């Protein structure tokens, strides 16, 4: 139950970044090491070093800044296209890792070996 609560906290933080301001903020490097837990086990998203601010009415931005490979959406890595969907992809990887208790790269390697 605690893992679920943490992932809901992260989802709430992302929702705030996208809808809490006039212009959405895309984190661009969401991964477990950028989620901090306080003494009450409440999750806080951190490290906005490569975050992007989408202009009003903009839904996609292009960049040459790269994030962590195993959490990066394909369109971000291949084309440099940044959108809120990129964070959602990273969040999905985190959810998968959280509830399977396996790292994303370990699951990819298991598919290659089989």
Catalytic residues: 29
Q: Which of 70, 72, 86 is nearest to 18 (CA)?
A: 86
- Give residues with Cβ within 8 angstroms of 85, minimum separation 6: 73, 75
Cα separation, 49 vs 63, in Å, equals 14
Cα separation, 68 vs 83, in Å, equals 16
């Amino acid at each position: 139950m605690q893992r679920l609560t943490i992932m809901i906290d992260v989802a709430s933080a992302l929702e705030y970044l996208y809808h809490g301001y006039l212009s959405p903020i895309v984190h661009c490097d969401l991964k477990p090491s950028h989620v901090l837990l306080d003494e009450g086990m409440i999750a806080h998203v951190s490290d906005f070093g490569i975050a992007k601010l989408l202009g009003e009415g903009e839904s996609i931005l292009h960049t040459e800044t790269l994030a962590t490979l195993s959490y990066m959406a394909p369109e971000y890595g291949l084309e440099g296209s940044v959108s809120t969907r990129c964070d959602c992809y990273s969040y999905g990887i985190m959810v998968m890792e959280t509830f399977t208790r396996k790292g994303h790269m370990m699951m990819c390697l298991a598919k290659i070996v089989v």
